Amino acid sequence: MSPEAATPSVMVFRGSIVALLVASLAAIFLVIRPPESKSTSSQVRTISTPTQQTSPTATPTPPGSGPSRTATAAGGTAKPATPATSATGTDAAGTAVASPSAAAKTYTVQAGDTISSIAVAHGTDTETILGLNPDVKPETLLPGTVLKLP
C-alpha cells in the first residue's frame, strides 16, 4: 500500500474543515447569547433531609420573676438598683423605656434578596441579622424565609 492511498481525499479534508468551522461558530454564538429559560415560574425546589432542623428558642421571663437586684440604702431600706418599669413602658422618672415584650420585627425573604440588601434596606448590618437568625446561612437563603430584624 502506498502512502498516497492512506491520506484522505480532498473532499473529506474540506468537509471536516467546514464541520469544524460550523461547530466553532455555534459555540461562539452560545457563549455570546446563551438560551433563556422557558420556565415562567420562580419556584424553588426544596430537598428533604433525613434530619430535622432545630433552632434554639428563648423563653421570655415575665417582669418581676427574675432574680432580685436590690441595694440596701443607708437607712436599711431596700432600693432597686435599676429603675423600675411599669406596664406602660415608662420608668419611675416617667421616661419612656423600650418594653421587653415589644414585638420583634420580621421580614419575609423575596426572590433576589440577599442578607446585605435586607440589612441596607432596614438600616442595620449583616452581622446583626445573622446574630438574630443563627439557623440562616447566607449561601442558601430561600424566598419565604422569615428573618428576625433588630
Q: What's the pTM?
A: 0.34
Q: Tell me what pLDDT residue 15 has.
A: 92
Instruction: State pLDDT tens for residues 78-87.
Output: 544 444 444 4
Domain assignment of residue 143, yes or no: yes
Rounded to whole angstroms, how far apart are CA atoms 140 and 142? 6
Confirm whether 16 is domain-assigned. no
Domain region containing 142:
104-150
User: Does some domain include residue 118?
Assistant: yes
Domains: count for the chain: 1
SS3 state of residue 85: strand
- Tell me, yes or no, whether 65 lies in a domain: no
Question: Whole-angstrom Cα distance, residue 139 to residue 148?
Answer: 17
Give the CATH number, domain containing residue 121. Answer: 3.10.350.10
Provide the mean pLDDT of the chain: 73
pLDDT tens column, 1-28: 677 777 778 888 899 999 999 999 999 9
Instruction: Please report whether residue 50 resides in a domain.
Output: no
User: Is 68 inside a domain boundary?
Assistant: no
Residue 86 φ then ψ, to 5°: -95, 175
**How confident is the model over 114-142, as pLDDT tens digits?**
998 999 999 999 999 999 999 988 888 88
